[in-house]
Amino acid sequence: MTVEPRQSTVWNYAPAPEATDHLRLRDRYGLFIDGAFREPAEGRHEPTINPATEEPIAEIAWAGPADVARALEVARSAQPRWAALPDRERGKYLFRIARLIQERARELAVCETLDGGKPLRESRDVDVPLAAAHFFHYAGWADKLRYGVAAREVAPLGVVAQIVPWNFPLLMAAWKLAPALACGNTAILKPAETTPLTALLLAEICQEAELPPGVVAILPGDGQVGATLVRSPGLDKVAFTGSTAVGRDIQGALAGRGVELTLELGGKSANIVFEDAALDQAVEGIVNGIFFNQGHVCCAGSRLLVQESVMDEVIAKLWARMARLRVGDPLDKNTDVGAINSAEQLARIEALVAAGEAEGAVRRSLACDLPEHGYWFPPTLFTDVAPAHRIAVEEIFGPVVSVLSFRTQAEAIQKANNSRYGLAAGIWTDKGAKAFEVASALRAGVVWQNTYNHFDPTAAFGGYKESGFGREGGPAGLRPYLRVVRSP
């Protein structure tokens, strides 16, 4: 491994930490069932931890089997009344939720950063605005459902279980809840055990919006809560975002039960840079593609494929740009790379990076002063990577990019598709025809041209192969929450 010093920078940034004295956090949060916060049947509470400091933020109730059964019973009872509301009235509730997210944007952004470790500017400028945008978008669809499914007459599925990961807690909750509610379903949301806080603030927002009791339940806890929920009778649909291994387990548990399923799983996405690309622009896209949210992104551009003729130039520009990344306090508005979400995830990143070195790849990691407490990993670049190396095959889910070369367009496509995953890809070229040719040959659900990690509630998102199936977002995101009752 080579640890290289930072290059001198033009600007020195003074600390700019976001204040936290405006937060209205409770010391303890219950389960959100039937429109109210309630104590768990087993009385279990666990602290949610700030990964940047390892200090507890609040005590969180963990659901047990009795709580899951109660939430299902309430959701089943509430669903016919919710579905019977005029479509436009359901849309009004979603609109209220969106407005309240905007009103509490600063609080939500700070909580997301405290609980998850991501830089504040990402929580503030990406997660919270996109969460509101998803509720706004599906509020508009609530009275137009048949136009989103080829003019067919449709009805809601019923009760849906939704399990979201720890990398985008609030955004993933909005991503799943908004279309489900717009379609007339009731929902039980299970947030990740390490990042439940903003889901519980969203429960408060549901109360402020006067959402009818039972329409949304939120059950924090560990993986056992999700397993119990998935295996419980009375479900009509499960939507899961997370690891491929857990996705397989859920699919097996639902087999033969007639329960609908959407899976959005892992990825090892290729970011392809051709020699005719605007290289400075491409380097910015590479940085955004892998170091955004510390690489905790299922569609992160963790495999960088660069045409041989510009390989040296791209690596030099990329390393110079990486040297200017600011790593540290996520609450500082100047921070580019925050804390790793948990000790468990940090250990996985370290193990895979060690494997990359052991297999012969050349590692470059920034020499930066990391805080004494918390979970941290410096932005890292691997060169001399072979397609069979673990760092080129397995999802690292951290700030680590592996660089591979190619000579021809056909070789770039072959290497990009040489993965068991198929979630996303990026193409950097100034030639539109080439971009369309390559995109049509890539087996990836989302392909970006001359940009990366840009999301929009009007666009569908989802993958192929071991990256899952089904689509979320836009009109395509309605179909998984509806059943067709009559064709036109």
| pLDDT tens-digit map of 438-486 | 999 999 999 999 999 999 999 999 999 999 999 999 999 999 999 998 7
Q: What is the DSSP string of 66-94?
A: HHHHHHHHHHHHHHHHHHHS-HHHHHHHH
Looking at the structure, tell me whether residues 199 and 125 fall in a common domain: yes
Domain assignment present for residue 445? The answer is: yes
Q: Summarize the confidence of residues 183-207 as an average pLDDT.
A: 98
Q: Summarize the confidence of residues 181-186 as an average pLDDT.
A: 98
Domain assignment present for residue 10? The answer is: no
The CA distance from 107 to 166, in Å, is 18
Residues 6+ apart with CB under 8 A from 113: 18, 119, 120, 123, 330, 331, 338
Count of helix runs (H) and strand runs (E) in the chain: 15, 23
Q: Summarize the confidence of residues 259-285 as an average pLDDT.
A: 98
What integer pLDDT is reported at residue 368 of this predicted model? 87
Q: What confidence category does residue 24 fall into, taking pLDDT thresholds of 50, 70 and 90?
A: confident
Query: Which pair of tokens denotes residue 208?
Result: 């402020």
Q: How many CB atoms lie within 10 A of CB 312?
A: 10
Q: What confidence category does residue 3 fall into, taking pLDDT thresholds of 50, 70 and 90?
A: low
Query: Which pair of tokens denotes residue 322?
Result: 């990486």
> Chain-wide mean pLDDT for the chain?
96
Task: Give how many domains the chain has, as a whole number.
Answer: 2
Given 193, 260, 264, 472, the catalytic residue = 264
E-only strand ranges, 308-376: 362-367
The CA distance from 46 to 40, in Å, is 12
CATH number (domain holding residue 214): 3.40.605.10
What integer pLDDT is reported at residue 21 of this predicted model? 84
Domain assignment present for residue 14? The answer is: no
Q: Is 299 a catalytic residue?
A: no
> What pLDDT digit, counting tens, does each position of 73-114 carry?
999 999 999 999 999 999 999 999 999 999 999 999 999 999
Q: CA 319: distance to chain centroid?
A: 26
Given 18, 298, 466, 472, the catalytic residue = 298
Instruction: Say yes or no to pLDDT of 6 above 70.
Output: no
What integer pLDDT is reported at residue 1 of this predicted model? 63
Domain assignment present for residue 21? The answer is: no
Give the HSE-up count for residue 456: Cα atoms under 13 Å, Cβ half-sphere.
8
Instruction: Say yes or no to pLDDT of 158 above 60.
Output: yes
> What pLDDT digit, counting tens, does each position of 8-21 carry?
455 678 888 898 88
The CA distance from 259 to 157, in Å, is 10
Instruction: Say yes or no to pLDDT of 387 above 90.
Output: yes
Domain assignment present for residue 9? The answer is: no
Question: Tokens 């700070």 belong to which residue?
Answer: 110
Looking at the structure, tell me whether residues 241 and 226 fall in a common domain: yes
Instruction: Say yes or no to pLDDT of 4 above 80.
Output: no
Helix axes 105-116, 169-182, angle to 10 degrees: 120
Give the HSE-up count for residue 399: Cα atoms under 13 Å, Cβ half-sphere.
27
Helix axes 65-84, 223-230, angle to 10 degrees: 60
Instruction: Say yes or no to pLDDT of 404 above 60.
Output: yes
Q: Is 298 a catalytic residue?
A: yes
Looking at the structure, tell me whether residues 201 and 63 fall in a common domain: yes
Residues 6+ apart with CB under 8 A from 200: 29, 32, 60, 191, 218, 220
Looking at the structure, tell me whether residues 438 and 307 fall in a common domain: yes
Looking at the structure, tell me whether residues 344 and 476 fall in a common domain: no
Domain span at residue 175? 28-265+467-486
The CA distance from 237 to 214, in Å, is 17
What integer pLDDT is reported at residue 487 of this predicted model? 67
- b/e map 319-330, b = 16+ CB within 10 Å: bebbbebebbbb
Whether the full predicted model's pTM is greater than 0.85, yes or no, is: yes
Instruction: Say yes or no to pLDDT of 269 above 80.
Output: yes
Q: CA 457: distance to chain centroid?
A: 13
The CA distance from 198 to 111, in Å, is 6
Looking at the structure, tell me whether residues 185 and 46 fall in a common domain: yes
Instruction: Say yes or no to pLDDT of 255 above 70.
Output: yes
CATH number (domain holding residue 426): 3.40.309.10
Looking at the structure, tell me whether residues 200 and 320 fall in a common domain: no
Helix segments in 123-278, DSSP class H: 128-141, 169-182, 197-208, 223-230, 244-254
Domain assignment present for residue 15? The answer is: no
Domain assignment present for residue 343? The answer is: yes
- The residues pairing with 306 across neighbouring beta strands, listed in sequence order, are 273, 405
Looking at the structure, tell me whether residues 281 and 247 fall in a common domain: no
52 or 11, which is more confident: 52
> What pLDDT digit, counting tens, does each position of 333-363 carry?
999 999 999 999 999 999 999 999 999 999 9
- b/e map 445-482, b = 16+ CB within 10 Å: bbbbbbebbebebeebbbbebbbbbbbbbbbbbbbbbb
Query: Which pair of tokens denotes residue 167?
Result: 């990398």
Percent of the chain with pLDDT over 70: 97
What integer pLDDT is reported at residue 391 of this predicted model? 98
What integer pLDDT is reported at residue 15 of this predicted model? 87
Looking at the structure, tell me whether residues 311 and 340 fall in a common domain: yes
Q: How many CB atoms lie within 10 A of CB 308?
A: 12
The CA distance from 447 to 139, in Å, is 27
Q: What confidence category does residue 213 fall into, taking pLDDT thresholds of 50, 70 and 90?
A: very high
Looking at the structure, tell me whether residues 207 and 294 fall in a common domain: no
Instruction: Say yes or no to pLDDT of 7 above 80.
Output: no
Looking at the structure, tell me whether residues 237 and 121 fall in a common domain: yes
Domain assignment present for residue 391? The answer is: yes
Residue type, 466: E
Rounded to 10 degrees, the C-alpha dihedral 93/94/95/100 comes to 90
Residue type, 121: R
Q: How many residues does the chain have?
A: 488
H or E stretch covering 3: strand 2-5
Looking at the structure, tell me whether residues 332 and 238 fall in a common domain: no
